[in-house]
Amino acid sequence: MTIAALRKYKRILILGAGIEGQASLAFLHAYVPNAIVAVADKRDGPGYLEKQIDYDLIIKTPGIPKEQVTRPYTTATNIFFANAKGMVIGVTGSKGKSTTSSLMYDILKEAGRKAHLVGNIGNPALDELLHGNTKEDVYVYELSSYQLDDILYSPHISVITNFFPEHMDYHGGLAAYWEAKKKIIAHAKTSDYFVYHPRYPRLAQLAKKTKAIAVPGATDLPLADRDIPLLGLHNRENVQLAVRVARILDIEDKTIKRAIRSFVPLPHRLQNVGTYKEITFYDDAISTTPQSTLRAIESFPNIGAMLLGGQNRGYDFMGLAGEISRRKIPVLVLFPDSGIAIASALKKVGYTPEAMLETRDMHDAVQFVYNKTPQQSVCLLSTASPSYSVWKNFEEKGDLFQMYVKKFGEQR
């Protein structure tokens, strides 16, 4: 919705008082000063949604399902797209969005472009519009399925990193989740681009149907694998996507190479916590699905211990159990609630680890790992489940893991 269209409304309600809601409020104060603007949030009490009746327009934040909106509405994402003058590179996918977006941003900055990192990994998009909105601005926008669910625009360059089950509780099923994800190119023009990996069947099919120019991630990288400061095949795929986008923008390979070599990996994404008592610890707290944990396992030849489990969203853990069995990973820690399902899957594949602990306490989990894990091996936190049954979010889970790893590791 353009600024001119917003100014036609006299009473505007922002649903959701989080970071994006506050950015919407600042944007409206700057560009729609004559409107009466209010904010309603679930912290106001169970009746906060009833306030909608008193307003002409609702600005819905991503975490609120559109079915709960009872008045005409728009979103901060749609307001951004309607008013951004510069190029938008949109990045979505089940995993890898943040790393891929950050890589692209670093490459753009290295190339001297007027780049902005916005969305889930960066600043709120509307905040960035307040600080810079010219044709020279380039916005790398990490887009969640929540934001894409009701999007009315497509970026100039759309990137989908991968696709597998996630956020089933919000979308109500895999089909609805896929419908939301693929909306990133629903409004693409023939002059736009779609960058993807053909190894994912849904993405390969989507590439055949889009109006956009569909191009796969670059396989001829400008630097050797040993010079990429990111572990794992999935991160190599993230690099391939970032390189392809950079080449679309005519950025030289020598610039791309410099940016990637100096890239600092994001926290909780196969982050090397350190080697203590001859065990090397990796924090992959971001991996909250079986598929992403399987990709993490691929990154190491010698896993001695794994910490698994969390909120049970009904995932199928048989593939994960089979890989743990095949690799004969000797030490497992299982957190509730999905730890029970993982244990059941392990039993079905006929695998019994040498040592296993069921706990909800990260202190006890890490202490157990130190006591049981073989030396010269890797301990991997990659829970294959969301965090919310035990922790506030994946950051809290990863921070606790790192704290106890260092606490016990530094004890004589």
Residues of the chain with pLDDT under 70: 165-173, 412
Distance separating alpha carbons of residues 368 and 199, to the nearest angstrom: 38
Phi-psi region of 278 (alpha: psi -120 to 50; beta: other; left: phi over 0): left
Q: Which residue from 265, 24, 244 is spatially nearest to 127, judged by alpha carbons?
A: 24
- Do residues 9 and 56 make contact, with C-beta atoms less than 8 angstroms apart? yes
- Give me the phi and psi of 323, to 5 degrees please: -70, -40
Instruction: List, for residues 228-250, the tens digit of each pLDDT value.
Output: 999 998 999 999 999 999 999 99
Distance separating alpha carbons of residues 64 and 181, to the nearest angstrom: 17
Instruction: Classify domain 3-76 at the CATH topology level.
Output: Rossmann fold (3.40.50)
- In sequence order, what are the beta bridge partners of 300? none
Per the listing, tokens 């353009």 go with: 2
Instruction: Classify domain 84-261 at the CATH topology level.
Output: UDP-N-acetylmuramoyl-L-alanine:D-glutamate ligase (3.40.1190)
Distance separating alpha carbons of residues 312 and 308, to the nearest angstrom: 11
Model pLDDT, residue 63: 85
Q: Which residue from 178, 174, 184, 247 is spatially nearest to 211, judged by alpha carbons?
A: 184
Model pLDDT, residue 169: 54
Q: Which residue from 296, 263, 305 is spatially nearest to 102, judged by alpha carbons?
A: 263
Q: Domain 271-409 is of which CATH architecture?
A: Alpha-Beta Complex (3.90)
Query: What DSSP string describes 6-29?
Result: HTT-SEEEEE--SHHHHHHHHHHH
Q: Which residue from 159, 1, 186, 155 is spatially nearest to 78, judged by alpha carbons?
A: 1
Model pLDDT, residue 20: 93
Domain ranges of the chain: 3-76, 84-261, 271-409
